[in-house]
Amino acid sequence: MSNAIPVRTRAPAATRPAVGKDASQDRQKRMIADHFDKLSTAKERGQKVVYTFVPGNLTELLGALDILPVLPEINALQSGMRQKSGGYIAEAEKSGHSEDVCTYVKCDIGMLRAGNIGPTGQALPPPDLLLLSYTGCFTFLKWFELLREEYNCPVAMLHVPYQPDGVITPEMRRYVVDQLESEVIPALEKVAGKKLDLDELARRLELSAKAEDDLVAVWESARNTPSPIDGYFGGVYYIGPIFSSFRGTEGAVAYYEELRAEVEARVAAGLGPVTPDGTLTDQRYRIVVEGPPNWTSFNDFWHMFSREGAVVVSSTYTRVGGLYDTGFRHSGRDPLVSLADYCLGCYTNLGLPSRIDLIERYVRDYRADGVLINSVKSCNSFSAGQLLMLRELEKRTGVPGGFIESDLVDPRYFGKANIDNRLQSYFQMLDARRARRAA
């Protein structure tokens, strides 16, 4: 999957207020700009670059070896937000990639063919290694097979066993640690030209834990009424640093401290989050959302919620790069075990029963009025079994489920009027239920 350093864009409707910016948002923008500056000069400075995916990313390990990460999913979603993905996907389809392939992959391939220009307009360096941390999505394998053909560079794979029963056994943990020791770390050391300093890795993992504490406090602030955050549309901005290149850095710690302080100030003032329709304090519906957002019409999509007074109190997509609110924290005490547990616990690596349990918990903990699924056409990892999940969640929680369909970055699959109609009907259903219960 597929996560996120989106840069906020202007709402398309001229009458709509632009989404406001907090100081933490400016800080995140500066961090991203600095990262892409470093990437653009990496080759001339002799710094090594590894491409890797968001779920199961080993950012602290790369950082401890002074390697810069590139996350192709993030480049794809950025292209979607900047309205470039349609052209990139068309380019990939012209060269034979089927309409059914995950659109992140096709967007990435099209972007590569168009010069591999990143979201800041600077060219991205080719990878010195492809680091495939396999956490549940088969597409990851095929994606890096394609990139290996393009770049003719080595691949290191970390095979993470699927968690069918929601339990990490000692054998699963040992299997991942063994691969880190015998394959992944040696491959990275070869690229970096130096040995891994385990103390430096441990230091970075402790920094990760600090940022994770603050992120969890931000998520849990949504238990308040009004919720001071939108845990989906706003949430994708909050996960940017921790799910990507900055986990295990002082920069990420400072970002999450600042973000948490901003959110706590909104709680104290009784304010809701800033949305495309201004500050959403009068919240009529509290929703839990499963599935990734659409990126090509992101603000339009958000507006369909905020205009109706709907706030998303929790979402699964904002957990794809780490499920910290179930208690996991990175730790420097046993660094490789910590990395193994992180990879094993990724949302994409969980079976359907665990995912249902998690969403049920969100509905109860955040006192949600409904569960809504955005089923994404090209993402099998998320979409398989979603209707079954919805029925089970309705049964267990008693709240109404809603179902809409769109895509990640293919603008052909965002049917604006259709999605808007379905959402309005869904909110009316919540109203009717509320009226029945009050009668």
**Residues found near ligand SF4 in the complex (CB under 6 A):** 1-2, 73, 102, 104, 137, 139-140, 348, 379-382, 408
Q: State the nearest-atom distance from the C-beta of 155 to ligand SF4, in Å.
A: 16
Q: Give whichever of 311 and 379 is closer to ligand SF4, judged by the CB atom.
A: 379
Closer by beta carbon to ligand SF4, 29 or else 159: 159
Report the nearest approach of ligand SF4 to the CB of residue 322 (Å).
15
What's the closest the beta carbon of residue 333 comes to ligand SF4, in angstroms?
Answer: 31
- Nearest approach, Cβ of residue 227 and ligand SF4 (Å): 27
58 or 363: CB nearest ligand SF4: 58
Instruction: Give, in degrees to the nearest 5, the angle at Cα 214 between 213 and 219.
Output: 100
Residue bearing tokens 């020791």: 181
Q: Which is nearer to ligand SF4, 68 or 408 (CB)?
A: 408
Nearer to ligand SF4, 138 or 194 (CB): 138
Q: Rank residues 105 and 168 by Cβ distance to ligand SF4 and give the closer one.
A: 105
Give 221 or 316: the residue with its C-beta nearer to ligand SF4.
316
Quote the least distance from Cβ 229 to ligand SF4, whole Å: 24
* 362 versus 382: smaller Cβ distance to ligand SF4: 382
Judged by beta carbon, residue 289 or residue 311, the one nearer ligand SF4 is 289
Give the C-alpha separation, 45 to 53, whole Å: 24
Exposed (0-12), middle (13-18) or buried (19+): which is 89, by Cβ within 10 Å? buried
Please state the closest distance from residue 3 (CB atom) to ligand SF4, in A. Answer: 9
